[in-house]
Chain A
Amino acid sequence: MITEIAPARERESAAPQQPRKVRRAWDEVPRWQIYLPLGIYLVFTLIPFYWILLFAFRPAGSTSLLPWPMTLDHFQKVWTERSFGVYFQNSVYVGVATLILTTVVALAGGYALARFEFKVKRAFMLALLCSQFVPGALLLVPLFQIFAKLQMINSLGSVILAETVFQLPLSMILISGFIRNVPQSLEEAAWVDGCNRFAAFRIVVLPLLRPGLIAVGSFAFVHAWNHFLFALMFLSDQSKQTIPVGLNTLMSADSVDLGALAAGGIVAAVPVVIVFAFIQKWLITGFSAGAVKG
Chain B
Amino acid sequence: MAQAAAVAKPPAPPRRRRASATPRRLPYLLIAPAALLMLGFIAYPVISVFYYSLQNYNPTKPWRNGFAGLDNFTHAFTNDPQFWDTLTFSAKWVVVEVGLQLLFGLALALIVNQTFVGRSIGRALVFSPWAVSGVLTSAIWVLLYNSQTGVTRYLADMGIGQYGTSWLSDPSTVFSAAVVADLWRGVPFFAILILADLQSVSKDLYEAAEVDGASRFQQFRNITLPHLKDAIVLSTLLRAVWEFNNVDLLYTLTGGGPAGETTTLPLYVANTSVEAHNFGYASALTTVAFVILLFFSIVYLRLSKFGGGDK
Give the complex CA separation of A273 and B42 in angstroms. Answer: 31
Say whether A133 contacts B297, CB under 8 Å. Answer: yes
Contact of A228 among B34, B104, B135, B153 (CB under 8 A): B135
Say whether A258 contacts B149, CB under 8 Å. Answer: yes
1/0 per residue, CB under 8 A from B, across A222-248: the answer is 100111110001000000000010011
Which bucket holds chain B's interface residue count? Answer: 35 or more
Task: Kindly state whether residue A202 has any CB partner on chain B within 8 Å.
Answer: no
Say whether A25 contacts B216, CB under 8 Å. Answer: yes
1/0 per residue, CB under 8 A from A, across B226-256: the answer is 0000110000001001001111100110010
B window 131-151: CB within 8 A of A:
131-136, 138-144, 146, 149, 151
Give the complex CA separation of A273 and B200 in angstroms. Answer: 28
Chain B proximity of A175: nearest CB distance (Å): 11
Q: Which residues of A contact B26 (CB under 8 A)?
A: 112, 116, 197
Q: Count residues on chain A whose CB falls below 8 Å from chain B CBs.
A: 108
Say whether A49 contacts B31, CB under 8 Å. Answer: no
Chain B proximity of A17: nearest CB distance (Å): 14
A48-B41 contact given A22-B207, A269-B136, CB 8 Å threshold? no
Binding stretch for chain B, among A69-77, A206-214, A259-267: A259-267
Could you write out 27 A-B pairs with CB less than 8 Å apart? A5-B210, A25-B216, A28-B216, A38-B122, A48-B184, A51-B143, A109-B33, A111-B30, A115-B27, A118-B28, A121-B27, A127-B43, A138-B289, A139-B46, A165-B38, A172-B34, A226-B135, A244-B136, A252-B255, A256-B146, A261-B143, A272-B131, A280-B124, A287-B192, A287-B193, A288-B200, A294-B311
Write the residues of chain B forming the contact surface with A, with a CB cutoff of 8 angstroms. Answer: 2, 18-20, 22, 26-28, 30-31, 33-35, 37-38, 40-46, 48-49, 52, 104, 107-108, 111-112, 114-116, 122, 124-126, 128-129, 131-136, 138-144, 146, 149, 151, 153-154, 184, 192-193, 195-197, 199-200, 203-204, 206-207, 209-211, 213, 215-216, 219, 230-231, 238, 241, 244-248, 251-252, 255, 266, 269-270, 273-274, 279, 282-283, 286, 289-290, 293-294, 297, 307, 311
Not counting A35-B116, A111-B30, A248-B251, a sample of 18 additional A-B residue pairs whose C-beta atoms are within 8 angstroms of each other reads A25-B210, A29-B216, A37-B111, A41-B108, A45-B129, A48-B141, A116-B22, A118-B27, A131-B42, A135-B289, A137-B266, A139-B49, A141-B283, A222-B131, A247-B135, A248-B135, A251-B138, A251-B139
